[in-house]
Amino acid sequence: MSALLAQTTYTYLPEQVGFWMIAILMVVAALRVVTTKNVVHAALWLVVVLAGVAAQFILLASEFVAVTQVLVYIGAIVVLLLFGVMLTKAPLGRSDDLDGPKVQKGVAVVIALALLGMMGWVLAESWRDTKLDLHGRTVGELGQTTGQLSDSIFSTYLLPFEAVSILLLAALIGAIVLARRD
């Protein structure tokens, strides 16, 4: 073992441990989001999943996306969802009418498992031995620094970026028009 470690310049153990801990936490939290009987608890479990996604982005060296994830998702979207919960006077405690009937849940489980099997098979077939090679490259070669992202947004993707701005404006106006009392 020590000879093996001496041969490889880097050890990848911390990354693997980090990945699997965060991944297991995320899957458990995601399962709680879709199965819990309490709406507010679901929103709080969603925060765990979103924070886990941000941690995976950090692991993938994509720091700007991770920060945006925390700002927009945890900072804005979850708060908006909690506002939605409160404005629709959803039961804040435990309630049994969040889920559909048993048949609907059974069909949903079958569809989700079939989808997982299909996607898992395709992924295992297509990308079996592809390594990310995070240590073999410099940070610049990973292409994920904030500078490289901004260069890409404001050159190649300038037009889509402007389209997203228009979309956000349209969504803002649309939400105001829909939610206004008159």
Binders in 46-85 for other proteins, by CB under 8 A = 46, 49-50, 53, 56-57, 59-62, 64-65, 68-69, 72-73, 76-77, 80-81, 83-85
Q: Establish if 38 lies at the interface with other proteins (CB under 8 A).
A: no
Q: Cβ distance 108 to 27 under 8 Å?
A: no
Site for other proteins in 7-26 (CB under 8 A): 12, 15-16, 19, 23, 26
Selected from 5, 21, 92, 105, the binder of other proteins by CB under 8 A is 105
**Nearest distance from residue 10's CB to other proteins, in Å?**
9
Selected from 2, 9, 127, 182, the binder of other proteins by CB under 8 A is 127
Q: Select 94 or 153, whichever has its Cβ closest to other proteins.
A: 153
**Nearest distance from residue 46's CB to other proteins, in Å?**
5
Q: Which helix (H) or strand (E) holds 40?
A: helix 39-59
Residue count at the site for other proteins (CB under 8 A)?
Answer: 94
Sign of CA dihedral 18, 21, 23, 25: negative
Selected from 87, 93, 159, 182, the binder of other proteins by CB under 8 A is 87
Please report, for residues 134, 172, 173, 179, 182, the alpha-carbon distance to residue 176 in angstroms, rounded to integers and kept in the order given: 45, 6, 5, 5, 12
Q: Cβ distance 63 to 109 under 8 Å?
A: no
**Nearest distance from residue 179's CB to other proteins, in Å?**
4
Q: What is the dihedral of CA 83, 84, 90, 95, to 10 degrees?
A: -100
Going by C-alpha positions, the residue among 24, 75, 19 that lies closest to residue 47 is 75
**Nearest distance from residue 76's CB to other proteins, in Å?**
6
Q: Cβ distance 161 to 149 under 8 Å?
A: no
Selected from 27, 92, 94, 162, the binder of other proteins by CB under 8 A is 27
